C-alpha cells in the first residue's frame, strides 16, 4: 500500500516548522541549502551577472566559507546587499567535540535556532560498506579483513595502536555519519536517540552544513579525499524525505561526494522506499531489520505495526538496484532476544533470493536501554549461520562506543565519563575539546 498520507502525518509529527524557507526575492536566509537554480535566481533577482552563481556555489559548498565576508570573489557592495536582506551563509557551529580512543570524533553541532544534533567522524570507517558492491565496499573489505572474516572484533582490541595509526597517516576511507532530524520519531526500543523523541526536521541546508563543518574541521576535501557518508545519525531520513533528497543532491553536485559513497538507512518507511527507487540521484539503501519475524520486530520496532515485514521485504524485492549494487540489511544483535541460531535461520529464509547482504551490529549499550550486548562468540555464531545459508554477513565494528558515538548511541550526551566502556581495560574517559 503506497500510503503517502500516512507518511505525511508522520513527517509532521512533533516537528516544528523548518528553520529556513525559500521565498523568491524575500524570506530566505541561508545560502547553504540552495541549489544552483535557486542561487541563479537569487543572482538574477539582484541584477548580478550569471557567473556570480558559480562563485557562490564554489564558496559555500567547496571552500566551505562561514560568512559572506569570506566570499572574496563577490563585490563588497553585493555582499553588503545580501547581508542587509538578512542573507547568511547558514554554516553550522561546532558546539562541542568528544574524541574516542579509536580516533572517532563525536560533534555536537548547533544551528541558528539553538537546536543541536550529533555528527560523527570515523577516520577508518566502521566496515559498514563492506560487501555492498561499491568501490567503498571493496575498500572496506580489503582494508579491514576482520570485518568480513570469522572473528567479531571488540572496540577495545587495539585502542592505542589505532590512535597511533590515526596520528601518523591520513585516513584513506573516512566516514561521516550525519543526522536528518533533531531527535527521532521512530521508537526503536534499543536506541538512545529514540528517548529524545523528535523536535523538528532539519532543512537540506542544515544536513549539508554538518558535512561542511566536519570536512573543514578535519581539513579534508572531496573528491580529492575519499569520504564515505552515511545518513545514519539522529532521525529517520525518510520521515524528512524532501530535505534529505535535496541534501543528497547538494552533497553530490555541490560538495563533491559521489552518490556511490553515500548510504541512507531507513527503519522501513515502505512508501518512501518505493519513491527512493525512482530518484535520479540517490545514495545506496540500507534497511534496519533487527528481527526475523513480525511479532519480535513489532516488539523491538513499533513502526512494524504500520509497515510490516511482508510489506518491507516486498518493497526491497521491487527496489531497482543498479549495476553492482546490493541492499544492506542492518541487524542489531540483542543478547538473548534476537541473537539465537534459529533467528539467524529465519533471517536467511526471509532474505533468500534478494541481492543483499547483512550488517551485524552488537548492541551498543547506554543508560535507559533494557537490553544487553551479546558475546563475540554469539555474534560469530549468528554470522556463520547466515553465511552457511549463502547470505553475505559482515560484522560492523563499533566506533566511538566509549564516547556514545556508536550506532544507536546518539543522544547529545555530555557526560561521556559514564559510558559503559569507560572503565574497560585500555579505555579512559574521553576529553571534551
Grid coordinates representing 60 are 559555500
Answer yes or no: pTM beyond 0.85.
no
Q: pLDDT, tens digit, for every residue of 52-100?
A: 999 999 999 999 999 999 999 999 999 999 999 899 999 999 999 989 8
Q: pLDDT, tens digit, for every residue of 103-143?
A: 899 999 999 899 999 999 999 765 555 555 556 555 555 55
Q: How far apart are the first and last CA of the chain?
A: 48
Q: Can you give the pLDDT at residue 198?
A: 86
The region, left, alpha or beta by phi > 0 then psi within -120 to 50, assigned to residue 353 is: left
Give the C-alpha separation, 273 to 104, whole Å: 30
Average pLDDT, stretch 361-388? 90
CB 162 within 8 A of CB 113: no
**Count of other CB atoms within 10 angstroms of residue 304:** 22
Q: Which of 374, 433, 366, 353 is closest to 401 using CA atoms?
A: 366
CB 28 within 8 A of CB 82: no
Answer yes or no: is pLDDT of 363 > 80: yes
Residues noted as catalytic: 118, 407
**What is the set of domains in the chain, with CATH numbers?**
21-84 (1.10.150.530), 93-418 (3.20.20.70)
Q: pLDDT, tens digit, for every residue of 251-263?
A: 999 999 999 999 9
Spell out the residues 6+ positions from residue 37 whose beta carbon is closer than 8 angstroms to its own. Answer: none
Its sign, for the CA torsion 410, 400, 396, 136, is positive
Give the C-alpha separation, 402 to 156, whole Å: 9
CB 406 within 8 A of CB 107: no
Answer yes or no: is pLDDT of 172 > 70: no
Answer yes or no: is pLDDT of 426 > 80: no
Q: Can you give the pLDDT at residue 396?
A: 86
* pLDDT band, very low/low/confident/very high, at 376 (cuts 50, 70, 90): very high
pLDDT over 90 for what percent of the chain?
62
Q: Can you give the pLDDT at residue 161?
A: 41
Count the residues in the chain: 433
Q: Can you give the pLDDT at residue 193?
A: 76
3-state secondary structure the chain: CCCHHHHHHHHHCCCECCCCCCCCCCCCCECCCCCHHHHHHHHHHCCCCCHHHHHHHHHHHHCCCCCHHHCCCCCHHHHHHHHHCCCECCCCEEEEEEECCCCCEEEEEECCCCCEEEEEEECCCCCCCCCCCCHHHHHHHHHCHHHHCCCCCCCCCCHHHHHHHHHHCCCCCEEEECCCEEECCCCCCCCCHHHHCEEEECCHHHHHHHHHHHHHHHCCCCCCCCEEEEECCCCCHHHCHHHHHHHHHHHHHHHCCCHHHEEEEECCCHHHHHHHCCCCCCCEEEEECCCCCHHHHHHHCHHHHCCCHHHHHHHHHHCCCCCCCCEEEEEEECCCCCCCHHHHHHHHHHHCCCCEEEEEEECCCCCCCCCCCCCHHHHHHHHHHHHHCCCCEEECCCCCHHHCCCCCCCCCCCCHHHCCCCCCCCCCCCCEC
Q: Can you give the pLDDT at residue 22?
A: 32
Its sign, for the CA torsion 261, 266, 268, 274, is negative
Amino acid at each position: 500500500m503506497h500510503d503517502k498520507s500516512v507518511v505525511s502525518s508522520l513527517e509532521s509529527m512533533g516537528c516544528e516548522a523548518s528553520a529556513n524557507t525559500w521565498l523568491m526575492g524575500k524570506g530566505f536566509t541561508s545560502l547553504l541549502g540552495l541549489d544552483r537554480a535557486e542561487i541563479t535566481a537569487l543572482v538574477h533577482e539582484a541584477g548580478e551577472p550569471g557567473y556570480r552563481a558559480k562563485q557562490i556555489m564554489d564558496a559555500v559548498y567547496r571552500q566551505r566559507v562561514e560568512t559572506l565576508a569570506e566570499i572574496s570573489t563577490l563585490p563588497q557592495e553585493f555582499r553588503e546587499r545580501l547581508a542587509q536582506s538578512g542573507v547568511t551563509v547558514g554554516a553550522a557551529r561546532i558546539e562541542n567535540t568528544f574524541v574516542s580512543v579509536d580516533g572517532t570524533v563525536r560533534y555536537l553541532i548547533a544551528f541558528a535556532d539553538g537546536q543541536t544534533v550529533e555528527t560523527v567522524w570515523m577516520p577508518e570507517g566502521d566496515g559498514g560498506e563492506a560487501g555492498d558492491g561499491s568501490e567503498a565496499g571493496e575498500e572496506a573489505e580489503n582494508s579491514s579483513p576482520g570485518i568480513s572474516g570469522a572473528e567479531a572484533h571488540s572496540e577495545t582490541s587495539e585502542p592505542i595502536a589505532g590512535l597511533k595509526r590515526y596520528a601518523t597517516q591520513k585516513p584513506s576511507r573516512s566516514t561521516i555519519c550525519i543526522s536528518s532530524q533533531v531527535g527521532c520519531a521512530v521508537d526503536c526500543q534499543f536506541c538512545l536517540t529514540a528517548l529524545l523523541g523528535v523536535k523538528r526536521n532539519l532543512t537540506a541546508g542544515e544536513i549539508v552544513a554538518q558535512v561542511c563543518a566536519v570536512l573543514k574541521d578535519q581539513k579534508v576535501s572531496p573528491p580529492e579525499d575519499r569520504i564515505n557518508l552515511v545518513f545514519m545519525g539522529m532521525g529517520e531520513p525518510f520521515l524528512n524525505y524532501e530535505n534529505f533528497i535535496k541534501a543528497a543532491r547538494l552533497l553530490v553536485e555541490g560538495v563533491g561526494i559521489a552518490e556511490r559513497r553515500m548510504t541512507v538507512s531507513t527503519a522501513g518507511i515502505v512508501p518512501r522506499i518505493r519513491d527512493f527507487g525512482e530518484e535520479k540521484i540517490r545514495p545506496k539503501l540500507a534497511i534496519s531489520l533487527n528481527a526475523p519475524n513480525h511479532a519480535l520486530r513489532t516488539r523491538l520496532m513499533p513502526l512494524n505495526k504500520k509497515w510490516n515485514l511482508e510489506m518491507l521485504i516486498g518493497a526491497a524485492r521491487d527496489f531497482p538496484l543498479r549495476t553492482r549494487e546490493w541492499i544492506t540489511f542492518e541487524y542489531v544483535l540483542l543478547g538473548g532476544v534476537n541473537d539465537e541460531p534459529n533467528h539467524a535461520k529465519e533471517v536467511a529464509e526471509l532474505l533468500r533470493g534478494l541481492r543483499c547482504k547483512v550488517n551485524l551490529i552488537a548492541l551498543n549499550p547506554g543508560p535507559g536501554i533494557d537490553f544487553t550486548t551479546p558475546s563475540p562468540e554469539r555474534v560469530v555464531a549468528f554470522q556463520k549461520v547466515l553465511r552457511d545459508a549463502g547470505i553475505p554477513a559482515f560484522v560492523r565494528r563499533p566506533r566511538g562506543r566509549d564516547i556514545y558515538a556508536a550506532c544507536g548511541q546518539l543522544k547529545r550526551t555530555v557526560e561521556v565519563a559514564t559510558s559503559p566502556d569507560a572503565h574497560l581495560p585500555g579505555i579512559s574517559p574521553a576529553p571534551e575539546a
